[in-house]
Amino acid sequence: MSPYPILVVTAVNAEAEAFRALLDPEKIVVEAAGVGPAAAAAGTARLLASRPYRAVLSAGIAGGFPGRADVGSLVIGVRSIAADLGAESPDGFLPIEELGFGSSVLEADPSLVKALCAALPEAAPGDILTLATVTGTAGTTDRLAARFPHAVAEAMEGYGVAVAAEGAGVPFAELRAISNPVGPRNRAAWRMADAFAALRTAAPALNTLP
């Protein structure tokens, strides 16, 4: 096993504190880097430059796609996808690939995903979308679900963390706890306590990652 710890990056301190006390600080370091893909990328790059890490895990709460990830469940990102990185057109959204400017999809490290799935067998693997503006309407939900049939959740930071990890040559994956269904925005229906409980449940398993 590498002598270096795993870096877990959350958006806000509430997510970090949800399970930091349950993690072995010799094996896992948890830091909040900020909300959104830009803050996540910059914060993760700064953290990776400060000391060696053997892997990076983007973690926190997320919205789950109905029928694919239930509220209170865990999901593991096989790919982190910048779902709104591209351009509008009269014929619909054009991802950055069609513009010739790079890729909106970053693959998680297969070995790290395999270890996470083994440690957390109840978690659903799939694509996790990163959006700077999260979904708040049924129409957008339907369009995203159609564009990304393997997407289980959406959040705001995974792709940014993945970009920083890829730049540093460090293995990356994403772990999310579902607090609400993707769809029309109804903050009163969010079950934050259930999502934070799911994160705490995941902590012992993270301590066993190789």
Give the start-to-end residue ranges of the domains of the chain. Answer: 6-206
% of residues, the chain, pLDDT over 90? 84
CA distance 195 to 153: 13
- Where helices occur in the chain by DSSP H, the ranges are 13-19, 37-50, 96-99, 110-119, 138-147, 158-168, 192-206
Characterize the bridge pairing of strands 74-82 and 55-64: unpaired
pTM listed for this prediction:
0.93
pLDDT for the residue numbered 95? 87
pLDDT for the residue numbered 161? 98
pLDDT for the residue numbered 1? 61
% of residues, the chain, pLDDT over 70? 100
- pLDDT (mean) for 39-67: 97
pLDDT at 71 over 70: yes
pLDDT at 198 over 70: yes
Distance of CA 202 to the CA centre of its chain: 14
pLDDT at 137 over 90: yes
CB 97 within 8 A of CB 189: no
pLDDT for the residue numbered 188? 77
pLDDT for the residue numbered 166? 97
CA distance 88 to 117: 36
Q: Which CATH number fits domain 6-206: 1.20.58.740, 3.40.50.2000, 3.40.50.1580, 3.30.70.870?
A: 3.40.50.1580
Confidence of residue 126 (pLDDT cuts 50, 70, 90): very high
pLDDT for the residue numbered 58? 98
Write down the mean pLDDT value for the chain: 94
For 110, residues 6+ apart whose C-beta sits below 8 A from its C-beta are: none
pLDDT for the residue numbered 189? 78
Pairwise pLDDT comparison (18 vs 115), residue with the higher score: 115
- pLDDT (mean) for 108-130: 97
